[in-house]
Structure 1
Amino acid sequence: MGTLCAASAILDLLARLAPARKMALSNYLFQSVVCCLIFTAYEIATAWSTGAACCFADGITYFCHPDWLSERWLRPHRYGTVEWLLRAITLAAWPEWRRLLPDSTRQFADDGSKTDQQCPESS
């Protein structure tokens, strides 16, 4: 029984991390640029005055923020920005940028056939 609960907890964790795994290259580049800009000047200058706990909190924030952004980005989009560009180069064609709306929210044309509309801009 304990093994089954542990497996369920692991699967739940993996499901929560799925958006970040789908945008791994975009997240890596984002974190690299942000951390280079912040840690080379701001964080090093303030680390001595704020203490280790504040620096640790900053590190956790920089680590978790792309996970949140990934989840928000992948709601209306199929791929991350860099992954989309890499897919376009690999396929030599422009892949779909945005997800299609689910069947229940698709619009019907005048002749009764379904039209595939793109997701509206997220607010």
Structure 2
Amino acid sequence: MRIGELARRTGVTPRALRYYEEQGLLAPERRPSGYREYGDRDVDTVHGIRTLLAAGLTSAVIAEILPGLPLPGRRRPGPTCPELLAVLARERARITRQLDELEASRALLDAVMGADAPSEVIRTPGR
């Protein structure tokens, strides 16, 4: 199938599919004309990429772990290799740190919004 058909089947724009190829996430065959040719397996791969992106992983991390993920319907639940689990644990820790930073930011905003005199909460460095 060509890129437009893959885009229709996955709900992803052709531009995003070309980006995934640039990042090493997809490797379509090339016709003699230069057109990309995708297979049914690429549909599953794109859905997997979208799931991992939604989980907060970067395209670089996805490129690192994608080869270690078993195909849908041919796997036990969860990742199967220790290296993959280590990468996912590292990414989970990174996301947890980001959540902690966001919660601290929200608490600071709550303090500013709830203060009778916000200037007492907002301090200029060095004063």
- Ranked by relative contact order (alpha carbons within 8 Å, sequence separation 6 or more), the top structure is 1
Relative to the length of structure 2, the TM-score reads 0.32
Relative to the length of structure 1, the TM-score reads 0.32
